[in-house]
Chain A
Amino acid sequence: SQTIHQWPATLVQPVGSPLSLECTVEGTSNPNLYWYRQAAGRGLQLLFYSVGIGQISSEVPQNLSASRPQDRQFILSSKKLLLSDSGFYLCAWSVRGGTNTEAFFGQGTRLTVV
Protein backbone atom coordinates (compact mmCIF):
# COMPACT_ATOMS: atom_id res chain seq x y z
CA SER A 1 0.00 0.00 0.00
CA GLN A 2 1.04 3.58 -0.54
CA THR A 3 2.27 5.75 2.30
CA ILE A 4 3.53 9.29 2.54
CA HIS A 5 5.98 10.48 5.14
CA GLN A 6 6.52 14.09 6.05
CA TRP A 7 8.86 15.45 8.67
CA PRO A 8 9.36 17.07 11.06
CA ALA A 9 5.91 17.33 12.64
CA THR A 10 6.66 20.61 14.34
CA LEU A 11 9.41 23.14 13.88
CA VAL A 12 10.30 26.45 15.51
CA GLN A 13 12.82 28.50 13.58
CA PRO A 14 14.19 32.03 14.00
CA VAL A 15 13.66 34.66 11.35
CA GLY A 16 16.42 34.53 8.76
CA SER A 17 17.25 30.89 9.31
CA PRO A 18 17.10 28.29 6.51
CA LEU A 19 14.36 25.70 6.12
CA SER A 20 14.22 22.20 4.74
CA LEU A 21 11.07 20.08 4.89
CA GLU A 22 11.13 16.64 3.38
CA CYS A 23 8.42 14.42 2.02
CA THR A 24 8.73 10.89 0.67
CA VAL A 25 6.20 8.55 -0.85
CA GLU A 26 6.31 4.77 -0.79
CA GLY A 27 4.43 2.16 -2.75
CA THR A 28 3.85 4.07 -5.97
CA SER A 29 5.82 5.33 -8.94
CA ASN A 30 5.70 8.57 -10.96
CA PRO A 31 3.37 10.39 -8.61
CA ASN A 32 2.35 14.00 -8.82
CA LEU A 33 3.68 15.74 -5.72
CA TYR A 34 2.35 18.87 -4.06
CA TRP A 35 3.27 21.30 -1.31
CA TYR A 36 0.45 23.27 0.32
CA ARG A 37 0.50 25.85 3.08
CA GLN A 38 -2.35 26.52 5.46
CA ALA A 39 -2.38 29.68 7.59
CA ALA A 40 -4.15 29.31 10.94
CA GLY A 41 -7.84 28.62 10.36
CA ARG A 42 -7.53 29.23 6.62
CA GLY A 43 -7.65 27.29 3.38
CA LEU A 44 -4.92 25.38 1.60
CA GLN A 45 -2.70 27.42 -0.68
CA LEU A 46 -0.94 25.48 -3.41
CA LEU A 47 2.75 26.41 -3.29
CA PHE A 48 4.43 23.97 -5.68
CA TYR A 49 3.57 20.91 -7.68
CA SER A 50 5.72 18.48 -9.59
CA VAL A 51 4.93 15.95 -12.31
CA GLY A 52 8.41 14.44 -12.46
CA ILE A 53 12.02 14.56 -11.29
CA GLY A 54 13.37 18.07 -11.59
CA GLN A 55 10.03 19.44 -12.82
CA ILE A 56 8.66 22.05 -10.44
CA SER A 57 5.79 24.45 -10.99
CA SER A 58 5.57 27.40 -8.63
CA GLU A 59 2.21 28.94 -7.88
CA VAL A 60 3.10 31.76 -5.53
CA PRO A 61 6.24 33.90 -5.83
CA GLN A 62 7.91 34.00 -2.44
CA ASN A 63 11.10 33.10 -0.66
CA LEU A 64 10.35 29.37 -0.75
CA SER A 65 11.60 26.87 -3.28
CA ALA A 66 10.99 23.20 -3.97
CA SER A 67 13.05 20.40 -5.44
CA ARG A 68 12.40 16.85 -6.53
CA PRO A 69 15.74 15.06 -6.59
CA GLN A 70 14.18 11.61 -6.78
CA ASP A 71 10.88 10.30 -8.12
CA ARG A 72 9.29 9.94 -4.68
CA GLN A 73 11.03 12.71 -2.78
CA PHE A 74 9.86 16.31 -2.57
CA ILE A 75 11.71 18.97 -0.58
CA LEU A 76 10.55 22.43 0.45
CA SER A 77 13.31 24.92 1.24
CA SER A 78 14.02 28.47 2.14
CA LYS A 79 17.33 30.29 2.49
CA LYS A 80 15.96 32.87 4.94
CA LEU A 81 12.65 32.45 6.73
CA LEU A 82 10.23 35.32 7.26
CA LEU A 83 7.65 35.67 10.02
CA SER A 84 4.97 35.31 7.34
CA ASP A 85 6.25 31.82 6.51
CA SER A 86 4.67 30.47 9.68
CA GLY A 87 1.90 28.00 9.00
CA PHE A 88 0.94 24.39 8.51
CA TYR A 89 2.70 22.78 5.56
CA LEU A 90 1.19 19.76 3.90
CA CYS A 91 2.79 17.49 1.36
CA ALA A 92 0.52 15.39 -0.87
CA TRP A 93 0.72 12.96 -3.76
CA SER A 94 -1.70 11.84 -6.44
CA VAL A 95 -1.65 9.48 -9.35
CA ARG A 96 -0.11 11.23 -12.33
CA GLY A 97 -2.58 12.63 -14.83
CA GLY A 98 -6.29 11.98 -14.73
CA THR A 99 -8.85 13.70 -12.62
CA ASN A 100 -10.61 10.89 -10.79
CA THR A 101 -8.23 10.06 -7.96
CA GLU A 102 -7.84 11.97 -4.76
CA ALA A 103 -4.69 13.43 -3.31
CA PHE A 104 -3.19 11.69 -0.29
CA PHE A 105 -1.72 13.87 2.39
CA GLY A 106 1.10 13.61 4.86
CA GLN A 107 0.58 14.47 8.51
CA GLY A 108 1.83 18.02 8.03
CA THR A 109 4.55 20.21 9.54
CA ARG A 110 3.59 23.01 11.86
CA LEU A 111 6.19 25.73 11.33
CA THR A 112 6.51 28.68 13.67
CA VAL A 113 8.95 31.40 12.73
CA VAL A 114 9.97 33.51 15.73
Chain B
Amino acid sequence: AQKITQTQPGMFVQEKEAVTLDCTYDTSDPSYGLFWYKQPSSGEMIFLIYQGSYDQQNATEGRYSLNFQKARKSANLVISASQLGDSAMYFCAMRVPNDMRFGAGTRLTVKP
Protein backbone atom coordinates (compact mmCIF):
# COMPACT_ATOMS: atom_id res chain seq x y z
CA ALA B 1 0.00 0.00 0.00
CA GLN B 2 1.05 3.56 -0.63
CA LYS B 3 2.16 5.71 2.28
CA ILE B 4 2.95 9.40 2.54
CA THR B 5 4.64 10.87 5.61
CA GLN B 6 4.95 14.52 6.59
CA THR B 7 6.77 14.75 9.91
CA GLN B 8 6.49 18.51 10.51
CA PRO B 9 3.11 19.39 12.01
CA GLY B 10 4.01 23.09 12.01
CA MET B 11 6.72 25.31 10.59
CA PHE B 12 7.57 28.99 11.00
CA VAL B 13 9.49 31.11 8.53
CA GLN B 14 10.39 34.77 8.37
CA GLU B 15 8.96 36.73 5.49
CA LYS B 16 11.27 36.77 2.43
CA GLU B 17 13.21 33.72 3.60
CA ALA B 18 13.11 30.23 2.10
CA VAL B 19 11.53 27.23 3.79
CA THR B 20 11.60 23.48 3.14
CA LEU B 21 8.64 21.25 3.90
CA ASP B 22 9.49 17.57 4.21
CA CYS B 23 7.74 14.64 2.58
CA THR B 24 8.70 10.99 2.34
CA TYR B 25 6.77 8.27 0.57
CA ASP B 26 6.67 4.55 0.14
CA THR B 27 5.30 2.53 -2.73
CA SER B 28 6.10 -0.60 -4.67
CA ASP B 29 4.79 0.88 -7.92
CA PRO B 30 7.59 1.95 -10.27
CA SER B 31 5.36 4.62 -11.81
CA TYR B 32 3.95 7.28 -9.56
CA GLY B 33 3.40 11.00 -9.29
CA LEU B 34 4.15 13.30 -6.41
CA PHE B 35 2.12 16.44 -5.80
CA TRP B 36 2.00 19.33 -3.40
CA TYR B 37 -1.16 21.20 -2.51
CA LYS B 38 -1.81 24.32 -0.49
CA GLN B 39 -4.90 24.65 1.68
CA PRO B 40 -5.63 28.14 3.02
CA SER B 41 -8.07 28.70 5.84
CA SER B 42 -10.94 28.76 3.35
CA GLY B 43 -10.46 25.01 2.87
CA GLU B 44 -9.94 24.98 -0.87
CA MET B 45 -7.21 22.72 -2.21
CA ILE B 46 -4.77 24.50 -4.52
CA PHE B 47 -2.41 22.43 -6.67
CA LEU B 48 1.15 23.74 -6.54
CA ILE B 49 3.61 21.41 -8.21
CA TYR B 50 4.06 17.94 -9.69
CA GLN B 51 7.01 15.53 -9.99
CA GLY B 52 6.91 12.28 -11.93
CA SER B 53 8.81 9.23 -10.75
CA TYR B 54 10.75 9.06 -14.01
CA ASP B 55 11.55 12.77 -14.18
CA GLN B 56 15.27 13.39 -14.13
CA GLN B 57 15.06 17.04 -13.14
CA ASN B 58 13.45 18.61 -10.12
CA ALA B 59 10.18 20.38 -10.84
CA THR B 60 9.90 24.13 -10.43
CA GLU B 61 6.88 26.45 -10.56
CA GLY B 62 7.65 30.06 -9.79
CA ARG B 63 8.68 30.28 -6.14
CA TYR B 64 8.00 26.59 -5.61
CA SER B 65 10.49 23.84 -6.28
CA LEU B 66 10.41 20.16 -5.48
CA ASN B 67 13.59 18.53 -4.19
CA PHE B 68 13.12 14.98 -5.47
CA GLN B 69 15.49 12.36 -4.10
CA LYS B 70 14.25 9.06 -5.48
CA ALA B 71 16.68 6.79 -3.65
CA ARG B 72 15.66 8.35 -0.36
CA LYS B 73 11.99 8.38 -1.38
CA SER B 74 11.66 12.01 -0.48
CA ALA B 75 9.91 14.88 -2.24
CA ASN B 76 10.46 18.03 -0.24
CA LEU B 77 8.81 21.31 -1.19
CA VAL B 78 10.96 24.42 -1.16
CA ILE B 79 9.27 27.81 -1.07
CA SER B 80 11.61 30.68 -1.80
CA ALA B 81 11.10 34.29 -0.72
CA SER B 82 8.18 33.49 1.59
CA GLN B 83 5.21 35.84 1.60
CA LEU B 84 2.54 36.39 4.24
CA GLY B 85 0.02 34.83 1.87
CA ASP B 86 1.97 31.57 1.98
CA SER B 87 0.62 30.89 5.48
CA ALA B 88 -1.53 27.78 5.05
CA MET B 89 -1.60 24.01 5.37
CA TYR B 90 0.57 22.18 2.84
CA PHE B 91 -0.08 18.61 1.77
CA CYS B 92 2.14 16.18 -0.04
CA ALA B 93 0.36 13.57 -2.14
CA MET B 94 1.27 10.53 -4.17
CA ARG B 95 -0.64 9.15 -7.10
CA VAL B 96 -0.48 5.67 -8.53
CA PRO B 97 -3.01 4.72 -11.20
CA ASN B 98 -6.53 5.16 -9.79
CA ASP B 99 -5.38 6.05 -6.30
CA MET B 100 -4.22 9.27 -4.67
CA ARG B 101 -3.20 9.60 -1.05
CA PHE B 102 -2.17 12.51 1.10
CA GLY B 103 0.13 13.10 4.04
CA ALA B 104 -0.94 14.58 7.36
CA GLY B 105 0.05 18.07 6.29
CA THR B 106 2.32 20.83 7.57
CA ARG B 107 0.96 24.13 8.81
CA LEU B 108 3.24 26.91 7.62
CA THR B 109 3.18 30.29 9.32
CA VAL B 110 5.03 33.19 7.74
CA LYS B 111 6.10 35.86 10.22
CA PRO B 112 6.32 39.53 9.18
* A interface residue numbers (CB < 8 A to B): 32, 34, 36, 41-44, 46, 49, 51, 88, 90, 92, 94, 96-105, 107-108, 110
Query: Which 7 pairs across A and B sit closest by C-beta, in order of nearness?
Result: A43-B104, A99-B33, A105-B45, A44-B102, A102-B47, A43-B105, A108-B43
Please tell me the size bucket of the interface on B. Answer: 20 to 34
Q: How far is the CA of A108 from the CA of B98 in the complex (A)?
A: 21
Q: A34 → chain B, closest Cβ, in Å?
A: 7
B96 touches A99 (CB 8 A): yes
Complex formed: what's the CA distance from A102 to B91 in Å? 13
User: Do A42 and B104 have beta carbons less than 8 Å apart?
Assistant: yes
- Which positions in B face A, CB cutoff 8 Å? 6, 31-33, 35, 43-45, 47, 50, 52-53, 89, 91, 93, 95-105, 107
Most buried by B among A44, A98, A105, A108: A44
CB contacts (< 8 Å) of B89 on chain A: these are 41
Known contacts A42-B105, A99-B32; decide if A110 and B97 are in contact (CB<8 Å). no
In the assembled complex, the Cα of A88 lies from the Cα of B98 at a distance in Å of: 22
A90 surroundings in chain B (CB, below 8 A): 45
Complex Cα gap A36–B105 (Å): 14
B43 touches A99 (CB 8 A): no
State in angstroms the CA–CA spacing of A50 and B101 once bound together: 14
B104 lies within 8 A of A99 (CB): no
CB–CB B33/A100 < 8 A: yes
A99/B44 in contact, CB under 8 A: no
The distance from the CB of A31 to the nearest CB of chain B, in whole angstroms, is 11
